[in-house]
């Protein structure tokens, strides 16, 4: 008799809901997680982003309305909720919101959080170490020709399937760094073209994400003036994502939305290598504890985070070793092996993972634009699989029951679908997406 965990691994190529058997009450593990990333670390990251706001506002005029703070709207999407209810002939619990990281300024994706933060931290570290800046200075100085000339001698590199490369490339180039983005075959051509238009060197590989990361790391290691952004292991990336939690709390407060035992918060986020959803989940757990329930969503052909945690092999788990192809239309989620750092942290925090077939990504995308007139890219739509099937699976319904969340309490929940990318997609590419049926 297979356990639920064994069944999930056995059926990895199929759509499913995996409920995490390793999840613990946050109070039980809070002290241990403090040793890895603390509240002070997250506050430090928040303050660093505030210091850079004058620079961001000057170089990226689209952030003028937010005074250089890169943040996205939280928008209720009742018509999308109704469309999903009609599609699946069911009643979805709670109020449905879209966290629109798809529309984050500068990079147009959730990677504008972690990716941009890590580049800014690296720039600050270099400038402070060389006496080019002090913490009390106005950071608009980073936009000067003098600083650009200073950073030109340094290189920033990263391996990416697309969106992380975009955030790293755009911000690094804006600061004046020499930039090399190593991109897997999954990366969309328009993303490569956009980077090249910003003066970024894009190095393409016929293989997948893991090779792009490996080759990028090797290239950077050979150059003492190069800095490698390691999507698989970076604590700084993680911190940039974690800052989002405090900002979300303010948005919920501004909307008079209560989060407690009688009003749970349910957040569903697409996952590739795991860094963005992991950091966001961690930040939310530190604020809301057991009153927030974080689920990830992955393509059924590339559910690497699920495998990494379920098998406890972490980064050593590769979807191809379990019969999945690793190929997916969701370019931003095309990571055959997950983050070593994030899978270990998420082992006791994430509630579960929904997996989705590629064809549905386009269906959800069409539903969203028809119902709410919001454009996001297909990979970003993976989270709607969790929204639509939150209690449809026997094990997902049982999960909430075990958490002491009755159907009546679920009706009072706030459900957030975290949109991870899409606003920079060119019109002609989006038209192609709209006409794609799988």
Task: For residue 168, give Cα distances in angstroms to 60, 109, 118, 379, 402.
Answer: 15, 12, 8, 19, 41
Amino acid 161: pLDDT? 81
The arithmetic mean of pLDDT across residues 296-310, rounded, is 97
pLDDT at 2 over 90: no
The arithmetic mean of pLDDT across residues 46-65, rounded, is 97
Using CA atoms of 344, 347, 351, 352 in order, give the dihedral in degrees to the nearest 10: 80
φ/ψ of 272, rounded to 5, equals -110, -95
The arithmetic mean of pLDDT across residues 403-429, rounded, is 96
**Per-residue three-class SS string for the chain:** CCCHHHHHHHCCCCCCEEECCCCCCHHHHHHHHHCCCCHHHHHHHHHHHHHCHHHHHHHCHHHHHHCCCCCCCEEECHHHHHHHHHHHCCCCCCEEEEEEHHHCCCCCECHHHHHHHHHHHHHHHHHHHCCCCCCCCCHHHHHCHHHHHHHCCCEEEEEECCHHHHHHHHHHHHHCCEEEEEECCCCCHHHHHHHHHCCCEEEECCCCHHHHHHHHHHHHHCCCCEEEECCCCCHHHHHHHHHHHHHHHHHHHHCCCCCECCECEEEEEECCCCHHHHHHHHHHHHHHHHHEEEEEEEECCCCHHHHHHHCCCHHHCCHHHHCCCCCCCCHHHCCCCCCHHHHHHHCCCCCEEEEECHHHHHHHHHHHHHHHCCCCCHHHHHHHHHHHCCCCCHHHHHHHHHCCCCHHHHHCCEEEEEECECCCCCHHHHHHHHCCCC
Q: How confident is the model at residue 34 (pLDDT cuts 50, 70, 90)?
A: confident
Which residues make up the CATH 3.40.50.1100 domain(s) of the chain? Answer: 4-107+236-434, 111-235
Amino acid 196: pLDDT? 95
CATH fit for domain 111-235, picks 3.40.50.1100, 3.30.1120.10, 3.60.15.30, 3.40.250.10: 3.40.50.1100
pLDDT at 211 over 90: no
Amino acid 394: pLDDT? 96
Selection from 83, 91, 98 nearest residue 391 by Cα: 91
Residues 6+ away with beta carbon under 8 Å from 150: 126, 127, 130, 132, 176
**CATH number for the domain running over 4-107+236-434:** 3.40.50.1100
Q: Tell me the pLDDT tens digit for each residue of 222-273.
A: 999 999 999 888 999 999 999 999 999 999 999 999 999 999 999 999 999 9
Q: How confident is the model at residue 3 (pLDDT cuts 50, 70, 90)?
A: confident
Q: Which two tokens stand for residue 242?
A: 């974690």
pLDDT at 1 over 50: no
In terms of Cβ atoms closer than 10 Å to its own Cβ (0-12, 13-18, 19+), residue 213 is buried
Amino acid 35: pLDDT? 80
Q: Tell me the pLDDT tens digit for each residue of 116-156.
A: 999 999 999 999 999 999 999 999 999 999 999 999 999 99
Q: Are 257 and 221 in contact (CB under 8 A)?
A: no
Q: How confident is the model at residue 165 (pLDDT cuts 50, 70, 90)?
A: very high
How far apart are alpha carbons 418 and 277 in whole angstroms?
9
Angle between helices 39-51 and 235-254 (to 10 degrees): 80
CA atoms within 13 A on the CB side of 185: 9
């Amino acid at each position: 008799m297979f356990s639920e965990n064994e069944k999930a691994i056995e059926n990895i190529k199929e759509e499913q809901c995996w409920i995490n058997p390793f999840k613990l009450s946050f109070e039980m593990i809070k002290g241990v997680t403090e040793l890895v990333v603390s509240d002070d670390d997250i506050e430090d990251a928040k303050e660093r982003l505030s210091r850079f706001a004058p620079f961001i506002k000057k170089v990226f005029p689209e952030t003028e309305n937010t005074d250089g703070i890169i943040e996205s709207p939280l928008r209720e999407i009742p018509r999308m909720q109704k469309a999903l209810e009609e599609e699946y002939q069911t009643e979805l619990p709670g109020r449905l919101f879209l966290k629109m990281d798809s529309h984050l300024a500068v990079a147009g994706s959730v990677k504008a959080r972690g990716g941009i933060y890590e580049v800014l931290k690296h720039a600050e570290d270099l400038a402070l170490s060389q006496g080019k800046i002090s913490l009390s200075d106005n950071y608009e100085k980073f936009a000067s020709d003098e600083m650009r000339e200073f950073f030109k001698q340094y290189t920033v590199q990263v391996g990416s399937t697309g969106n992380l490369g975009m955030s790293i490339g755009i911000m690094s180039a804006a600061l004046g760094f020499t930039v090399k983005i190593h991109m897997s075959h999954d990366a969309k051509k328009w993303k490569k073209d956009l980077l090249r238009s910003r003066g970024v060197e894009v190095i393409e590989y016929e293989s997948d994400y893991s090779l792009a990361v490996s080759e990028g790391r090797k290239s950077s290691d050979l150059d003492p003036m190069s800095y490698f952004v390691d999507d698989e292991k970076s604590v700084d990336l993680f911190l940039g994502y974690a800052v989002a939690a405090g900002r979300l709390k303010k948005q919920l407060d501004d909307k008079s939305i209560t989060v407690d035992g009688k009003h749970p918060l349910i957040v569903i986020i697409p996952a590739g290598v795991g860094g963005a959803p992991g950091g966001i989940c961690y930040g939310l757990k530190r604020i809301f504890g057991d009153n927030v329930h974080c689920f990830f969503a992955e393509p059924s052909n590339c559910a690497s985070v699920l495998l990494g945690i379920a098998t406890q092999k972490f980064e050593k788990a590769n979807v191809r070793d379990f019969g999945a192809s690793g190929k997916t239309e969701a370019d931003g989620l095309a990571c055959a092996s997950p983050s070593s750092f994030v899978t270990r942290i998420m082992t006791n925090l994430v509630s579960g993972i929904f997996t989705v077939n590629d064809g549905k990504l386009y269906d959800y995308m069409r539903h969203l634009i028809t119902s709410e007139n919001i454009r996001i890219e297909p990979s970003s739509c993976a989270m709607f699989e969790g929204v639509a099937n939150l209690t449809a699976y026997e094990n997902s319904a049982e999960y909430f029951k075990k958490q002491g969340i009755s159907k009546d309490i679920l009706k009072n929940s706030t459900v957030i679908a975290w949109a991870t990318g899409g606003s920079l997609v060119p019109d002609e590419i989006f038209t192609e997406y709209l006409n794609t049926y799988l």
